[in-house]
Amino acid sequence: MTEFDQLFKALNITEKSLQEKILKVGIVQTVPKNSFIIEQERYIKWLALVITGKVRVWQENEDRQILLYYVNPVHTCVLSLSATFRDCKSLVNAKTEEETIIVKIPVRYVTEWSFEYKSWNNFTTNSFIFSYEDLLHSYKNLAFSKIDKRLLDYLQSESKTNQTSFINLSHNQLAKEIGTTREVISKILKQFELSGIVNLKFKEIELL
Partner DNA sequence: TCTTACCTGTATCAAAAGGTACAGGTTTAA
Partner DNA sequence: TTAAACCTGTACCTTTTGATACAGGTAAGA
Residues at the contact surface with its own copies, assessed by CB under 8 A: 59, 61, 64, 66, 68, 78-79, 82, 85-86, 91-92, 114-115, 118, 121, 124-126, 128-129, 131-133, 135-140, 142-144, 179
Nearer to its own copies, 6 or 119 (CB): 119
Q: What element of type H or E holds 95?
A: strand 93-96
**Shortest spacing between CB 148 and its own copies, in angstroms:** 16
197 binds DNA (CB under 7 A): no
Return the one option of DNA, its own copies, none that residue 173 interacts with (CB less than 5 to 8 A, by type). Answer: DNA
By beta-carbon proximity to DNA, the closer residue of 75 and 176 is 176
Q: Whole-angstrom Cα distance, residue 51 to residue 49?
A: 6
Task: Give yes or no for residue 112 binding DNA (CB under 7 A).
Answer: no
- The answer to whether 92 and 115 have CB atoms below 8 angstroms apart is no
Q: Considering beta carbons, is residue 76 or 114 the nearer one to its own copies? A: 114
Residue 131, strand partner residues = none
- Residue 120 backbone class (left: φ over 0; alpha: ψ -120 to 50; beta: rest): alpha
- 152: contact with DNA by CB under 7 A: no
- For residue 206, state whether it binds DNA (rule: CB under 7 A): no
| Binding region for DNA (CB under 7 A) | 63, 146-148, 170-173, 179-184, 186-187, 189-190, 200, 202-204
